[in-house]
Chain A
Amino acid sequence: MRSPLRFERRLRQPKWLSLAVPAGSLLAALVLGAVVLLVTGRNPLSTYHRILERAFASQSSLSGTLISATPLAFTGLCAAVAFRMGIINIGGEGQLFGGAILASWAGIALGDQPVWIVLVAMLAAGAVGGMTVALIAGVLRARFGANEIITTLMLNYIVAIFLDYLIFNSKSYWREPKSFGFPKGKQVGPAAFWSPITIGHTAIPRGFIVAVLAGVVVSVLYRTTRFGFEVAVIADSPGTARYAGMRTTRKIIAVMALSGALAGLGGASDVGDFRHVLDAKGLQLAGYGYTGIVVAALARLNPLGTVLVAVLIGGLTNAGYALQGPDFPSGLVGALQGLILFTAVAGEVLVRYRVRRAVPAPVSAAAAGPPTPPVRAGA
């Protein structure tokens, strides 16, 4: 069976496409969404107005959007940094947990120190925590060739169980001893509450500012340094990297460390900006690590684009809560969100590929199609 349409990789990606396609994707999403809304008896215009208003238009809703966006920006960067070198780190989840564990430790231990010291200590602890988890998989990959997809995924579960252990099954340093028997985390000290930076009526979480800075640093690192150059070569052709004498093993470890540290910063932000405790269950329910992979993919692994996409997804998430109710089932909200993401990805395909009608193969009496000749036929 052959499809009448074929996708061909574009040799060049015209500049205008990279602007026109996202715009076109959005338009397509809105039109498709409008059809769905009309069919289900709702007014598309007022619905869209509400999405815009509750996600971005008002200053207080922008605050909420940034809250949702912050962890996704970190896990998105975590995924982007590794994927850029072809390392499929899907352990942002466990690495974020690792960061949250160490950052909450710092927050509890240093909670009465000066605010800036605690902030820096929590960020450092978070980065180390995420890095530690990531390095387990990184070293296994670099030294023993263990598939990092499997190891990072497994580590997600392992760190999650460790989180449960800290809060539910032990009298750990992180567990609140006076919670009337309910296992929960110990709150960090008062200085470990990262107060948001308020501009007008918009509260910007400090973690978000860290995420933007991290995006800039990663962007500079990958675009302008020898390190970034090596990452690009290793990603494109490991054989060529070896030919050029690049130390692939070290680079894998370095990139995994960086990737894990970024997710770990997200864990620190979760404790410092938002929850102020090590929230074993809440962190596991949030699924930041997995959403971060989607964010990075939509941003085409561009670091600054990742931060931007995180904000868009954060807004979409918040608008989703604003939309749903007895007359607007959350299933429909999910369908709208899915449409927007789907068209974005489809648009991405159009940037890279062109659609052609397949030229019918010369038909022979035989039912079997012709075998595909190998590209490098014995010349």
Chain B
Amino acid sequence: MVHSHRRARVAIAALLAGAAASTAATAAARTTPPTAPSTAGTATAGTAVGSATAYADPMTNFVPDQGAKPVDCKPKDGPLKAAWVYIGPINDGGWTQAHDVGRQEVQAALGDQVVTTYKENVPEGPQVAQVLEDLIKDGNTLIFGTSFGFQDAFIDVAAKHPNVCFDFATGYKTAANVGQFYGRGEDTDYLTGMAAGAATKAGKVGYVAPFPIPEVIRGINSYALGVQATHPGATLQVVWTNTWFDPAKERAAAESLIAAGVDVVASGQDSPASGEAAKAKGLPWTGYDSDQSANFPDIWLTATNYHWGAYETARAKAVLDGTWVPGNYYGGIADGFARLAPFGKLVSADTQAKILAKQAELSAKPGSHLTGPIKDQSGKERVPAGQQISFEDLMSMNYFVEGVIGEIPSS
């Protein structure tokens, strides 16, 4: 059975870390942002728009837990054994594949100092603890979790094994030997929205969205603001699928949006199925979480992509150095965590230049696209003029901004 269903991506961690994370993020902004423009359509898959310019050290976006002590999870002898636990298959073309690319980067960066392994297709549920115990029995002392539903099992098992370090993506609970990591997809979502806004003629973009949770909502809002930046007055119509991965459902949702008159389709899902619906009608499409430029060359605009390897390499190094501490990581554009996928040929040079300029700005000032005045759907002002949304409000966002058509069910 293939579980390509993904984790819940809740960076509540950062909420708990509060202002500290904001500070760290701002600190990161001081490093050199990537700015070199690329030629449309020529960038190779997996390469971020911008360039391979050196990114900031991810640890600048890491906030240690207060009073946290280093955990000794260094092996007695031999290389460090590190393991990744995935919910999907490593070739899902999305979430899990991106994580496995991260694992391979760790292996490549640290060479024979580390032996990496993984367990794929692990369902959220009672088996997770058993899989973790197995990994620990095999001598793994650094374990990465990549699905929200694994969180409780990680916390439970971590308590029994104080000399094993756990790093968890997209959760919110930390412990003496459990850290959390994730980052600012909303910044690149804004840039993706700019490409969509430039592409829509009717001023109507449709968004296929997974779950009505803050992480997704802030992505949709950012996307909508991006659309309006390049096409003032355009609307973003949202349909919920209540799944991370269900090609049939995603496609049906996209078709319903197209039937409602949108002429650009956006995906917040793990599968490219909504792209199939757009392709059938020849409509421009933005993806999510994977670079689909090769599969949809005629309709591809761009997408938000995540890069986990740099942070994970830093954490493995920390174990080897004996300096691993629990804490929260919230990456961004500056340290190369959130990157824009290569532009498709539908994105004009002019639009690319606009987007890259904005990318440089967001790299320097993460989250600054969410600066007031921002009104919600009812016209009520949510962020006052001139003020950037607070980190707490960003993490618990539960309203749609003006111009979004759709509703958030009982949040």
Contact = CB atoms under 8 A, between A and B. Distances in A.
B296 to A, nearest CB: 27
Contact of A182 (B8, B120, B127, B130): B8
A5 interface: no
Interface stretch (B192-200, B206-214, B219-227): B206-214
Contacts of B154: none
A275 B120 CA distance: 20
B182 interface: no
B130 A181 contact: no
Contacts of B134: 54, 61, 64, 318, 321-322
A285 interface: yes
Contacts of A63: 130
B212 A279 contact: no
Given A67-B130, A285-B3, A275 B410 contact: no
Nearest to A71: B126
Interface stretch (B111-119, B258-266, B329-337, B341-349): B111-119
B242 A182 contact: no
B117 A181 contact: no
B410 A170 contact: yes
B211 A183 contact: yes
Contact of A286 (B10, B15, B125, B129): B125
B148 interface: yes
B5 interface: yes
Contacts of B119: 321, 324-325
Interface in A137-191: 164, 168-171, 180-184
Contacts of A273: 126
B124 interface: yes
B394 to A, nearest CB: 12
A275 B125 contact: yes
A14 interface: no
Interface string B286-319: 0000000000000000000000000000000000
Contacts, number: 100
A317 interface: yes
A325 B118 contact: yes
B126 A274 contact: yes
Interface in B98-151: 116-127, 129-131, 133-134, 148-149
B89 to A, nearest CB: 7
A54 B131 CA distance: 10
A287 B148 contact: no
A238 to B, nearest CB: 36
Given A180-B10, A181-B10, A181-B398, A285 B125 contact: yes
B125 A169 contact: no
A285 B127 contact: no
B320 to A, nearest CB: 20
A321 B126 CA distance: 13
B395 interface: yes
Contacts of A330: 89, 120-121
A326 B118 contact: yes
A60 B137 CA distance: 11
A39 B1 CA distance: 24
Nearest to A287: B1
Nearest to A274: B126
A64 B133 contact: yes
A374 interface: no
Interface residues of B, number: 41
B214 A180 contact: yes
B214 A181 contact: yes
A281 B124 contact: yes
Nearest to B127: A68
Interface in B390-410: 395-396, 398, 409-410
Contacts of B118: 325-326
A266 B411 CA distance: 30
A168 B242 contact: yes
Contacts of B10: 180-182
B172 interface: yes
Contacts of A170: 409-410
B123 A318 contact: no
B410 A181 contact: no
A4 interface: no
Nearest to B104: A326
A282 interface: yes
A276 to B, nearest CB: 8
Given A67-B130, A180-B395, A180-B396, A168 B125 contact: no
Contacts of B126: 67-68, 270, 273-275
Contacts of A68: 126-127, 130
Interface in A41-63: 54, 60-61, 63
Interface of B: 1, 3, 5, 8, 10, 12, 15, 89, 116-127, 129-131, 133-134, 148-149, 172, 211-215, 217, 242, 395-396, 398, 409-411
Question: Which 5 residue pairs of A and B lie closest in terms of their CB atoms, listed nearest first?
Answer: A64-B130, A274-B126, A181-B214, A325-B117, A282-B124
Interface of A: 54, 60-61, 63-64, 67-68, 164, 168-171, 180-184, 270, 273-275, 279, 281-282, 285-287, 317-318, 321-322, 324-326, 330
Given A64-B133, A182-B10, 18 more contacts: A54-B134, A63-B130, A64-B127, A64-B130, A168-B212, A171-B410, A180-B395, A181-B411, A182-B213, A182-B215, A273-B126, A274-B125, A282-B124, A285-B3, A317-B127, A318-B127, A322-B134, A326-B116
